[in-house]
């Protein structure tokens, strides 16, 4: 029994070692990914519920490795975050998104995801200001999506960063709303323009047995009272779309309108959209 126990222990130790070395391998490859042009932003349309026109896009990162493999952001963003590679990658994301906004033209927005380490970096506001001015766009065409996770730390530093970002003229969206330990009090202290309702509440919301419609309805009411817009994420079906529309969300994002695509395909979508 003692031997067997040791065997199990070694099994777990090996598995942990494999995980650590895979993580290290991804980190090393990611370090070169920027220089080797392996990162791309894809753009998913965000549709205005009232007009049914595209109001903008969310930029979502993709990593095309030389091997041909496409790595999912959920697999490498956490590693970029832990290794601090998210700072140079994040700068690249912001500059690339601003250049894409210039191609979309005035009146359209692109949202980028900002991770906690990036948010904590004191150089973020100046990086944004220089990217916006280099692209020659209006700052309110850039929206920063910040996940609820940041609110776990209700520090004065975080509040100060929100104010600094707001003063650059960009828009702020609270991402994945409802999934974290959302401090409701924080919603009125931080200058958000939009709440993004997490897809876990949206997928299958039209199913009468789920409580999701009631939850979405309260989030919309809260957002309205605070003067914020709402985007329902992950809308896939016509039933869910009809429900979301009825509940008063201002914007919709999901496969029903389109998956994330290249900037060229996004520009094509806009041309079609304007012809509607």
List residues binding ligand C2E (CB under 6 A): 44, 59-61, 72-74, 77, 93, 113, 115, 175-176, 199, 233-236, 253-255, 260
Residue 157 interaction partner, one of Ca ion, ligand C2E, none, beta carbon < 5-8 Å per kind: none
| CB of residue 122 to Ca ion, shortest distance in Å | 23
Residue 55 interaction partner, one of Ca ion, ligand C2E, none, beta carbon < 5-8 Å per kind: none
Q: Are 252 and 46 in contact (CB under 8 A)?
A: yes
Q: Are 249 and 49 in contact (CB under 8 A)?
A: yes
Query: Binders of Ca ion among 126-145, rule CB under 5 A?
Result: 145
Tokens of 16: 């942990």
Query: Binders of Ca ion among 152-211, rule CB under 5 A?
Result: 175-176
Q: Are 201 and 173 in contact (CB under 8 A)?
A: no
| CB of residue 147 to Ca ion, shortest distance in Å | 7
Q: Is 212 in the site for Ca ion (CB under 5 A)?
A: no
Rg of the Cα atoms in the chain: 20
Q: Is 148 in the site for Ca ion (CB under 5 A)?
A: no
| CB of residue 226 to ligand C2E, shortest distance in Å | 21
**Cβ distance to ligand C2E smaller for residue 90 or 190:** 90
Rounded CA-CA distance 29/36 in Å is 10
> E-assigned strands of 102-170?
109-114, 142-147
Count of residues in contact with Ca ion, rule CB under 5 A: 4
Rounded CA-CA distance 44/41 in Å is 10
């Amino acid at each position: 029994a003692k031997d067997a126990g040791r065997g199990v222990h070694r099994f777990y130790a090996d598995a942990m070692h494999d995980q650590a070395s895979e993580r290290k391998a991804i980190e090393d490859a990611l370090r070169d990914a920027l220089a080797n042009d392996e990162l791309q932003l894809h753009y998913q349309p965000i549709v205005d519920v009232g007009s049914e026109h595209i109001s903008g896009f969310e930029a979502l990162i993709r990593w095309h490795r030389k091997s041909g493999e496409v790595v999912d952001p959920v697999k490498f963003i956490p590693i970029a975050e832990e290794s601090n590679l998210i700072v140079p990658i994040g700068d690249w994301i912001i500059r690339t998104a601003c250049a894409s906004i210039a191609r979309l033209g005035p009146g359209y927005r692109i949202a980028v995801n900002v991770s906690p380490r990036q948010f904590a970096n004191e150089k973020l506001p100046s990086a944004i200001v220089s990217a916006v001015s280099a692209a020659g766009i209006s700052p309110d065409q850039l929206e920063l999506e910040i996940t609820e996770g940041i609110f776990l730390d209700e520090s004065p530093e975080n509040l100060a960063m929100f104010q600094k970002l707001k003063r650059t003229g960009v828009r702020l969206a609270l991402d994945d709303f409802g999934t974290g330990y959302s401090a409701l009090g924080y919603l009125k202290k931080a200058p958000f323009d939009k709440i993004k309702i997490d897809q876990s509440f949206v997928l299958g919301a039209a199913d009468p047995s789920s409580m999701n419609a009631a939850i979405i309805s309260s989030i919309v009411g809260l957002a309205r009272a605070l003067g914020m817009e709402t985007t329902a994420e992950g809308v896939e079906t016509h039933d869910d779309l009809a429900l979301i529309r009825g509940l008063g969300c201002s914007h919709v994002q999901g496969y029903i309108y389109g998956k994330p695509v290249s900037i060229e395909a996004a520009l094509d979508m806009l041309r079609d959209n304007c012809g509607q």
